[in-house]
A and B are shown apart, each in its own frame.
Chain A
């Protein structure tokens, strides 16, 4: 199984909005609504930010939102804050009953 495709890096200024894309195939992202997003700060474990494409776990700010179109999922962050600077990973269920992660995107808050 191939990793989902994410941009290596994105950046934005405080208060701005950014979007991170996650491209797969019809066998993973395009075929199921089991896309999730994780935030990882250096030296820390990943934290679930979005599940099932667009749902936020309790405690995650509504500045974070998820969506999907065909085989590309997206994570949007509005009102960027310094603490949002982190690595972000998408993941998806696949037709082989497995899980595949994206390569990760480093978000820099300028």
Chain B
């Protein structure tokens, strides 16, 4: 059974870089899937951040592109998100998820992790 688990600091200071990792179990990250990040500010809707293929190819949300970096570590079966120069508006629950193919649907999701940006 495919399982995803996000991990990382729950509190990040303004102007710092948010770093999260998504560990995948029960499935090889090197299979023909894309791996994505989605976030949800408290009380608000979902926002797609981007996704990455095991080879390292990426697509990012244009509104976040200048601050986002995604990477994949096939040896650890995990992928990561870095969001630089964070502000309070980046406070959100961050989800990682598996996508059948680039731009299609997300069929498996992590439980989500709340990241608060505050000094």
Contact = CB atoms under 8 A, between A and B. Distances in A.
Interface in B57-107: 59-63, 95, 100, 102-107
B105 A36 contact: yes
B104 A34 contact: yes
A72 interface: no
Given A48-B106, A98-B59, A98-B61, A104 B95 contact: no
Interface string A67-110: 00000000000000000000001010110111111111000000
B111 interface: yes
Contacts of B61: 1, 98
A102 B104 contact: no
Contacts of A14: none
Contacts, number: 66
Q: Is the interface of B mostly helix, strand, loop or mixed?
A: loop
Given A3-B45, A46-B95, A89-B46, A94 B103 contact: yes
B47 interface: yes
Contact of B95 (A45, A52, A97): A45
A57 B45 contact: no
Question: Which of A91, A93, A94, A98: most chain B CB closer than 10 A?
Answer: A98
A1 B100 CA distance: 22
A22 B34 CA distance: 25
Interface string B24-36: 0000000000001
Given A1-B62, A96-B62, A98-B61, A46 B46 contact: yes
A98 B103 contact: yes
B62 A98 contact: yes
A102 B100 CA distance: 20
B110 interface: yes
